[in-house]
């Protein structure tokens, strides 16, 4: 690029990439750089929009390589956008580049909302065809990621849907498709739609691409399967993970097998799983660990309720509350009612006597519940029932006679 027509020596040297002996640009303060920008605009505008566009493009390149501190670079780019706002259509590519760089700087500072708003300022729906469909997918996905990081799930979902409008399986690069699918999964995860998120994460984890590490997607799939509400779909998700050879290489293999086999888990073991899962929780912040602990606890309590339904034919609500981890009677009754309503637990509750009746094969025979012919229940073996009862009794011995349990 010819800078011979530039009259100001400082501007000419800056655009040519001149540095000191130590490789650092002599112009690093925002005031100096804004002064050079003003000089550039004053000299280039009389020469026409083509020259102005070329010089601004070079200015952005020189600024990015000048090792300017983040705050100064943000100030300069903000000024550039303000001063070129009146020529947005003619300088569309320059403005897009400036906004993308500014968005990167805000992301580095974890100012997610500012980054999203800067990127939203890019004219993506212009009729001039400056922005390709792939660029639109990339920018909309990036905006969705920023809003997701800011915990604004509504905006994140909106921009993810916009990205989908320009995503084509045959023409969109595989890496971009993968990033979009991960954003989709992360949004569902943040919305606590764990089964849907599991499917997204697991599908992405199966991709075989160069320079792609599927570990995060696979681990998030494990987390979502653990936290999903009890029921047939969760059982299928757990079965998929237990059959996957990658599971054996994770610390979660034993836990996933316990959950899949619907084995009772003593409340004293809850903290063990919560500790193991901490690094999978709170993907964007560390402020929600208390909430995350609650999610794990609730998932295990629901799991144990279903596990106990395979051991007990009837049980008082008081007794059930203790075995589930010293819940209140009201909490226990509400939990049982909710799972019955959701179809996740075949049981009945007698509020007058405070007794829960579980759907066992004996009760089906007595006409207390209709026979639905569920293979999983009808093929239940006596050995499995005995093992489940032993688990419950062992926990009871440990709780009531801890000294005896230690001797054993």
Write out pLDDT tens, residues 160-203.
999 999 998 788 898 999 999 999 999 999 999 999 999 999 99
pLDDT class of 385 with cuts at 50, 70, 90: low
- Contact at 8 Å (CB) between 121 and 114? no
Mean pLDDT of 99-119: 96
Sheet bearing 314-316, strands edge to edge: 314-316, 355-358, 347-350
Helix spans in 207-349 (H): 215-227, 232-243, 253-260, 270-277, 289-308, 317-323, 329-342
Strand, helix or coil for residue 52: helix
Give, as one character, the DSSP assignment of residue 356. E
Rounded to whole angstroms, the Cα distance separating 108 from 182 reads 20
Asked if pLDDT for residue 284 goes beyond 50, the answer is no
Query: What Cα–Cα distance (Å) separates residue 42 from each residue in 26, 51, 52, 192, 263?
Result: 22, 12, 10, 54, 76
Mean pLDDT of 351-373: 60
Asked if pLDDT for residue 388 goes beyond 70, the answer is no
pLDDT class of 373 with cuts at 50, 70, 90: very low
Strand, helix or coil for residue 215: helix
What is the CA 17 to chain-centroid distance, rounded?
Answer: 41
A 10 A CB-CB count for 159 gives: 24
Please list, in sequence order, all residues whose beta carbon lies within 8 angstroms of the beta carbon of residue 178, skipping any fewer than 6 positions away: 204, 207, 209, 212
Mean pLDDT of 18-45: 80
Query: What Cα–Cα distance (Å) separates residue 145 from each residue in 55, 61, 71, 169?
Result: 32, 26, 23, 21
At residue 204's C-alpha, the angle toward residues 202 and 206, to 5°, is 75
At 180-189, the pLDDT tens digits run 999 999 999 9
Q: What percent of the chain has pLDDT over 90?
A: 50
- Contact at 8 Å (CB) between 64 and 71? no
Please list, in sequence order, all residues whose beta carbon lies within 8 angstroms of the beta carbon of residue 31, skipping any fewer than 6 positions away: none
pLDDT class of 118 with cuts at 50, 70, 90: very high
Rounded to whole angstroms, the Cα distance separating 23 from 13 reads 14
């Amino acid at each position: 690029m010819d800078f011979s027509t530039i009259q100001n020596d400082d501007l000419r040297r800056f655009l040519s990439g001149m540095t000191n002996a130590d490789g650092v640009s002599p112009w690093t303060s925002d005031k100096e750089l804004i002064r050079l920008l003003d000089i550039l605009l004053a000299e280039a505008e009389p020469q026409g929009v083509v020259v102005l566009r070329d010089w601004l493009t070079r200015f952005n390149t020189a600024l990015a390589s000048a090792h300017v501190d983040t705050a100064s670079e943000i100030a300069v780019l903000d000024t550039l956008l303000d001063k070129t706002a009146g020529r947005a259509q003619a300088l569309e590519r320059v403005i897009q580049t400036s906004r993308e760089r500014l968005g990167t700087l805000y992301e580095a500072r974890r100012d997610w909302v500012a980054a999203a708003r800067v990127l939203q300022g890019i004219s993506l729906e212009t009729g001039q065809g400056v922005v390709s469909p792939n660029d639109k997918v990339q920018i909309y996905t990036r905006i969705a990621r920023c809003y997701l990081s800011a915990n604004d799930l509504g905006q994140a979902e909106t921009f993810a849907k916009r990205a989908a409008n320009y995503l084509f399986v045959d023409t969109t690069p595989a890496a971009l498709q993968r990033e979009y699918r991960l954003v989709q999964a992360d949004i569902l995860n943040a919305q606590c739609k764990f089964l849907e998120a599991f499917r997204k994460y697991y599908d992405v984890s199966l991709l075989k691409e160069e320079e792609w590490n599927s570990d995060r997607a696979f681990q998030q799939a494990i987390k979502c399967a653990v936290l999903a509400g009890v029921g047939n779909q969760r059982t299928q998700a757990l079965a998929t993970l237990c059959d996957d050879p990658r599971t054996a290489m994770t610390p979660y293999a034993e836990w996933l097998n316990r959950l899949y086999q619907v084995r009772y888990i003593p409340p004293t073991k809850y903290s063990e799983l919560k500790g193991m899962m901490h690094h999978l929780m709170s993907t964007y912040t560390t402020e929600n660990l208390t909430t995350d602990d609650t999610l794990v606890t609730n998932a295990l309590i629901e799991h144990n309720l279903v596990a106990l339904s395979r051991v007990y034919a009837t049980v008082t609500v008081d007794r059930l509350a203790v075995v589930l981890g010293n819940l209140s009677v009201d909490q226990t009754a509400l939990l049982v009612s909710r799972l019955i309503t959701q179809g996740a637990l075949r049981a009945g509750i007698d509020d007058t006597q405070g007794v829960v009746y579980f759907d066992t094969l004996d009760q089906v025979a007595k006409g207390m519940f209709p026979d639905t012919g569920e293979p999983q229940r009808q093929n239940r073996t006596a050995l499995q029932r005995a093992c489940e009862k032993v688990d419950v009794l062992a926990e009871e011995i440990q709780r009531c006679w801890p000294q005896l349990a230690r001797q054993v």
